[in-house]
Amino acid sequence: MPDLNIIIAGLLDAVTLTNLLYIFAGVAVGQIVGAIPGLTILMALAIAIPLTYSLDTLTAVAFLISVNKGGTVGGAIPSILLNTPGTPESAATALDGYPMAKKGKPMKAMKYALYYSVFGDLSSDIVLITVAAPLALIALQLGPVEILALMILAFTVISGLVGDSMVKGLIAAALGFLVASVGIDPTQGTPRFTFGMLDLYDGLPLSALTIGLLAVGEIFAQIAGATKDASTGTPIQINSDNPEDNTVTLKEFLANKGVAIRAFVLGTVIGAIPGLGSATAGFLSYSVTKQAAKDPEAFGTGDPRGIAAAETANSAVVGANLIPLLTLGIPGNISAALLVSAFIIHGIQPGPLLFEQQGRLVYGLFGAMLIANFANLFVGQFGMRLWAFAVGAPNSIIFPSALLLCMTGSYITSGGFFGVFVMLIAAVVGYLMRAFGYSIVAFVIGYVLTPQLERSLSHALLITDGEIMAFLHHPIAIALVILSMVSVFYLGPKKRKPASTK
């Protein structure tokens, strides 16, 4: 564990003027993007990565995390104003936020969402900061065989939890394996699937690939689905004549503290498990709160407990999902996978060694996360009225602009048109995967984890001298492999209903 000087130096690194500016800018961008229905936080992250290319590592990662945090707040705005979640994470917020807005209190509903979101996010960040370093120490005790088994477990759990079926999730993960193996083999140094093209020797550019899969594929679907009457933008009236309906007092906030604390615990636990996401946390917390209430019939009519349950839980996922990333190097969800790509662009490999080798950077990141929560509160407090206009912005300006940014970003990160071609191919693949129900999350996680998996397997084979039976001397690895098999049997046959559990 890093000593106190490194921790303090790291935390202070986050408080430079440049970092503060980028944190506030990131939060504002995230809130605007979250507020626009159809644009997702993932799109924002994928587009934002190229913008960080020339930045210092801490500034770049702080900016991206701020975009992510801002997105969870912004996503609640269209949920409340239009009953259309700006991001999937905010779907549960609409259940009580929209009825409250219909009662003439849209500003109050948005402020409830903002305050509980910041509470959930801040609390989960504190958990992350507290547990990450000790967990990384434990992770360092694991050998290559155990790491290999852990990654197999992560693959089966993620493939089982995302998308419509585990079988399709595993096919998507296989595609991720295959695409990740393009380029020079990391253990032998021989070319694989390069077809004589020099550009392919370094593998496919991660940033262009994720921009194509996550952002452009979705933009294609949105532009293709456009109709003549769908692109009108009308400003929405959000202020009420009664001043009490425009604010949330401390007493009103604290009235739901029990709900918020339970939601924070649920969100943090769900965030720490790879494969589950904010939407699951929001819905689960909402239904648990409703079941525990003495008056469940009040839910769905504009009850602040519903907003508290959904927003606290979905925001608590944001900090907690960095636990598996920073301690084990395993991205728990797609946002974390995108952060991995940002780390890699800046020459850093996430994992337990990060605390030992880049302790100052990690604590700088933690400092930036804490600041981003307060920035979220500040920007949200003043920006809510403004973002409400963004909700009504026409799709005909949003999606073409986003597509141009994606093309430009791919060009910049890959240093030429090769990346833009990769982006286009990835977009077509992503569009088809979405249309045919294959999980893009499983594909990207498969792609990001494969190089690490190959190295772990290579190290495991080296220390066991290629003897399969030597794996029997690693009880933790055996337990993890058994858990993987259990997860296949438990999660495999289940068909999930996307709206309620994904």
Partner 1 sequence: MNIERILGGGAAIFGAFLLLYLIPNFVTDSDGMMSPTLFPSIAAWMFILFGSIQAITSSEPLKLPSAREFIRSGMIALIVLAAILAMEWLGFLIVATAFMAILTMFMYERRPIWLVATIIVMPICVWLVFELLLRRPLPPMLF
What is the contact surface with partner 1 in residues (CB under 8 A)?
51, 53-54, 165, 167-168, 170-171, 173-175, 177-178, 180-181, 185, 187-188, 190-195, 216, 220-221, 223-228, 231, 394-397, 399-401, 403-405, 407-408, 411-412, 417, 420-421, 424, 427-428, 431, 435-437, 450, 453-454, 457-458, 461-462, 466, 495
Q: Among residues 75 and 169, whose Cβ is nearest to partner 1?
A: 169
Q: Among residues 152 and 248, whose Cβ is nearest to partner 1?
A: 152
Provide, rounded to whole angstroms, the least separation between the CB of residue 396 and partner 1.
4
Q: Among residues 90 and 456, whose Cβ is nearest to partner 1?
A: 456
Amino acid (one-letter) located at 331 = P
Provide, rounded to whole angstroms, the least separation between the CB of residue 130 and partner 1.
36
SS3 assignment, position 87: coil
The closest alpha carbon to 21, from 339, 402, 371, 363, belongs to 371
The rounded distance, in Å, linking the Cα atoms of 400 and 240 is 34
The rounded distance, in Å, linking the Cα atoms of 490 and 251 is 44
Provide, rounded to whole angstroms, the least separation between the CB of residue 153 and partner 1.
16
Reading the block at residue 151, the tokens are 């990654």
Reading the block at residue 237, the tokens are 């009236």
- Long-range Cβ contacts of 418-422 (<8 Å, 24+ apart): 418/199, 418/205, 419/205, 419/207, 419/208, 420/208, 422/204, 422/205, 422/208, 422/209, 422/212
Provide, rounded to whole angstroms, the least separation between the CB of residue 397 and partner 1.
5
DSSP letters, 223-261, are: HHT--TTS----------SSGGGG---HHHHHTTHHHHH
The rounded distance, in Å, linking the Cα atoms of 311 and 391 is 19
CA 410, 416, 420, 422 dihedral sign is negative
Q: Among residues 258 and 400, whose Cβ is nearest to partner 1?
A: 400
Q: Among residues 153 and 263, whose Cβ is nearest to partner 1?
A: 153
Q: Among residues 233 and 300, whose Cβ is nearest to partner 1?
A: 233
Provide, rounded to whole angstroms, the least separation between the CB of residue 325 and partner 1.
22
Q: Among residues 241 and 465, whose Cβ is nearest to partner 1?
A: 465
The rounded distance, in Å, linking the Cα atoms of 335 and 337 is 5
The rounded distance, in Å, linking the Cα atoms of 330 and 486 is 20
Provide, rounded to whole angstroms, the least separation between the CB of residue 48 and partner 1.
12
